[in-house]
Structures are given as C-alpha cells and as structure tokens.
A and B are shown apart, each in its own frame.
Chain A
Amino acid sequence: MATQTHGEAPARTARTPALAVGESLAQFFSKHPERRYVMFGGKGGLGKTTFSAATGYWLAQHGKRVLVFSVDPQASLSDIFQMDIFGKGPVKVMDNLWAQEIDADRHIREYQDEVRAKILDMYGLDKVPDEIEDYIAAASAEPAMEESAIFDSVVDILSEGDYDYYVYDLVPLGHALYYLSMAKVYDEWIGKITHLREEMREYEEVAARMRRQKEMAEDQILGELQYIRTRINAASRILTDREKTAFFFVVIPEQMILLDTRKAAELFARFEVPVAGYIVNRVLPPELADDRAPAYLRNRIEMQRGQLAEIDRGFGKTVLARIPELERDVTGLPMIERVAELMYGDGASP
C-alpha cells in the first residue's frame, strides 16, 4: 500500500470531475439540513468507508460537528484516517470531525460487569452465585450477543452525542438487514413479556385487594422492560426515519453488484428504510479508452458503459454521484479531501 504523510497534497493527475447526474449530493444536503443521520450501505469493498470519511470531511469543512462511526468488527476507519481509533471512543481527526470504532467485545465485557455489580448490590452478596455466573458467561457466548451489543452501543452514540451529523459506516448489507429484522423481533419479544408482566401485576393486585393489603412493591421489571423497549425503538426509528435519515447505496458498474443491490433495496423497502439515493463508485474515466489503450482497458470501459446505462435506467434521478476510479487507494486526509471534492465539489453547502 502506498503510504503518504499528512499535509502533502496528493498527485492530481487524471482529475476527472464526477459526471453530472440528477441532483448532486451537495444539493441533497443543502436541501435537507434535517437529515442528520447519514448512512452508506452496500456490499463489502465498494467504498462505504471511503464515502463515509469523505462525507464527514466535507461536512466538517463547512463548520458542522460530525461523528463518523463504524460498528463493523473489521472496521477500516482506523486505516482510512491512519489513526488507531478502535475502541477508544470518539477520536478527534480534525476540526469538527470525530471518528469512532466500536469495540463490541469490550462493550460486552463491561455490560457483564454491570449485570454482576447489580446482582451483588441488590442482594448484598460478596460473590455472584456460580449458577448465575455460568449463565452470564454462556449467554454472552451466543452469536446474537455481539450484534445486540453493537446495536446497543449505536443507541448510546446517537442519544448521547451532540453532533450536527452522524455518519454511520454500515456493515455490509446482510448485517444491516439483520439489525433491522432483529429490532422487529426484539420489539415483539418485549411486547409479549411486558404483556405477561402486566397480567402478573393484575393478579397480584387482585390478591392484595382481597387480603386487604394496601401497598404493593413497585414492579422494577416492568420499569426495566419499558427502558429496553425505548432503547430498541430508538435504534430502529433512526434507521427508518424518513425525516432525519439519509441512506445511500454504494454501487459499482458491475452486473453482480447491481443485481445484489436491487435485491437488497427491496428488502430495505420492506423494513421501511428510506433510500435517499445511489452513488456509483469506481467509474473508469471514458477518455482512457482511446486507440492506444490496451484491449483489457477498452473492454472494461465498454462493459462499464453498458452497466452505467443500466444504472440510469434502473435508478434514474436517484443516482446522486458518479465517482471515478482513482489511481491509488484512499487513505489519509489529503486523499479523503480529494474524494470529498469529487463527491461534493459543485459549490452547494450543507
């Protein structure tokens, strides 16, 4: 990988401006200042992290306080910003821009400790009973645990921070859908046990009334259930909020990717995720396809031309940007700045 020191301007050869499309990304943000939760979704390796970083950079440059965060256990924000930020909370990258990578394992460990401390505190014990301790350890090893922990920390991030914009570098599509379906399942689960608990409460009241006992202890479990419900709803509400969320699909002009993206878009629609638009990445500059170009390159450009026409037919005006393939990978602030210019360089401001 080519390394580069900060501050040194990257070579600006092949300065291909993003091709004009429907509405531009910058116009989108300028028209919809209320859309504060920005998400980039798509298959792995298409440029979600790059666009998240560049969007954060552009917004921060325009004076907005921005947090770019990732929930991917194989997060690459550390790589793109060339800083070690994993599990360190929000780390300042530049003026107005913070980046954060969630360490799910640590979140789970802290959560287990909280549960243990609560048990010791509630019952005045010195040590958590073995049976309970085993249960805590076993529950934490379940596969759904990590996803839930991540989900929960996203709620923390979104509800505690005071940023103008939150740029959410999503995990690949399947996982994002899993989060959403999980929110629905959780909500139903909570609904059922809340109902059960309320019924228990009613019977307890009847018994207390018959026995002329006036006072009943407050049901702490019901309180806890309400709390869990608000947490779950907060997370899924943000993902599906038409007013505040801007969800962008990242695609590249290749048939497989387009087919997968269409399927994913249908699934997202089913979960009522409002898709704000599509960004096409890795477009080979057409001017490279002159007679002297090798057949390999000409063929690829020809193939892309066909797929781009397909993209225009399929997604029409919802294609908000086409970003050219760059001559090197995007790491470090100068390269991020260059991508931000390609994405948002048409003069509109947020």
Chain B
Amino acid sequence: MNERAANGRRASVLAGLREFLYGMTGHEFARHAVATRASLETLFMVTCVGDMIGLPVMPPYYSLRLLPFVVPEIATWKRRVLRERQFSDEHDFELHGV
C-alpha cells in the first residue's frame, strides 16, 4: 500500500518535472509552431475562399470542393484577416531569446 503511494508520488513528481521542463524548453517551440500554423491557415483560406472577403480566386469550381472542410474556420479566419491592426502586430510570433 505504502509502496503504491510512493510510486504514485514519484509518478506525479516526474510528471510535474516533465511539465516544468516542457514549460522551460518545448512550450515556446510548440506555441511558435501553432502560431505559424495559424498564419499558414490564414494564407490557405485566402487562397481557397478569398473571394468571400473580396479577393479574387482562380478556380471557384474546385474551391467549392474544399468549402465543406473549412466551414468551422471561416468565422475565425474572417476575424483574423478583417480586424483592425496594431503597428506591433507583426512581431507577435517572434521567438524571443531562442
């Protein structure tokens, strides 16, 4: 019983340590990766359904094939692309100190 409790404690210490190390090292990378992915997503949406916000798109026929897959992204994308921008916006995704 005691042994099991000790094991449990060790496991949670290890998990905590792992989280801590992740926070020290990997988190910034992961955040950067997710942010870059989001930027690419914006670009992807513009290329596929840019005509929704007034940018002409080459082949509307095949865009429609992709439309069902991007339905959940449309609101976020529009908010992202059409919102007002701050001068400092483009520095948001820099990896500071790495």
A211 at the interface (CB under 8 A from B): yes
Verify B44–A196 contact, CB threshold 8 A.
yes
Neighbouring B residues of A192 by C-beta, 8 Å = 47
If A206-B29, A207-B30, A220-B69 touch, whether A148 touches B44 (CB-CB below 8 Å) is no
Interface-central residue, B29, B48, B68, by most chain A CB under 10 Å = B68
A210 at the interface (CB under 8 A from B): yes
Q: Quick one: which of B27, B30, B60 contacts A139, CB cutoff 8 A?
A: B60
Interface of A is mostly: helix
A111 at the interface (CB under 8 A from B): yes
Q: Quick one: which of A129, A135, A148 contacts B59, CB cutoff 8 A?
A: A148
B87 at the interface (CB under 8 A from A): no
Residues facing A in B1-56 (CB within 8 A) are: 22, 26-27, 29-30, 33-34, 36-37, 40-41, 43-44, 47-49, 51-52
Verify A136–B67 contact, CB threshold 8 A.
yes
**Interface size, chain A (Cβ < 8 Å):** 46
Verify A221–B69 contact, CB threshold 8 A.
yes
Residues facing B in A195-210 (CB within 8 A) are: 196-197, 199-200, 203-204, 206-207, 210
Verify A115–B60 contact, CB threshold 8 A.
no
Produce 1/0 per residue, A209-230, CB < 8 A to B: 0110000000011001101100
Give the Cβ gap from A282 to chain B, nearest Cβ, in Å: 37
Neighbouring A residues of B61 by C-beta, 8 Å = 111, 144-145, 148-149, 151-152
Q: Quick one: which of B34, B43, B49, B60 contacts A148, CB cutoff 8 A?
A: B60
B81 at the interface (CB under 8 A from A): no
A193 at the interface (CB under 8 A from B): yes
- Beta-carbon nearest neighbor of B34 in chain A: A207
- Give the total number of A-B pairs whose CB atoms are below 8 A apart: 110
- Segment of A44-52, A118-126, A288-296 engaged in the interface with chain B: A118-126
Instruction: Enumerate 17 A-B pairs (CB-CB under 8 Å) in ascending A order.
Output: A122-B69, A135-B49, A135-B52, A144-B58, A144-B61, A151-B61, A186-B59, A196-B40, A196-B44, A200-B37, A203-B34, A206-B29, A211-B22, A211-B30, A221-B69, A224-B69, A228-B62
Residues of chain A having any CB pair with chain B under 8 Å: 111-112, 115, 118-119, 122-123, 129, 131-132, 135-136, 138-140, 142, 144-145, 148-149, 151-152, 182, 185-186, 189-190, 192-193, 196-197, 199-200, 203-204, 206-207, 210-211, 220-221, 224-225, 227-228, 232
Nearest 10 interchain pairs by C-beta: A148-B61, A210-B30, A203-B37, A207-B33, A210-B26, A139-B60, A206-B33, A118-B68, A203-B33, A200-B40
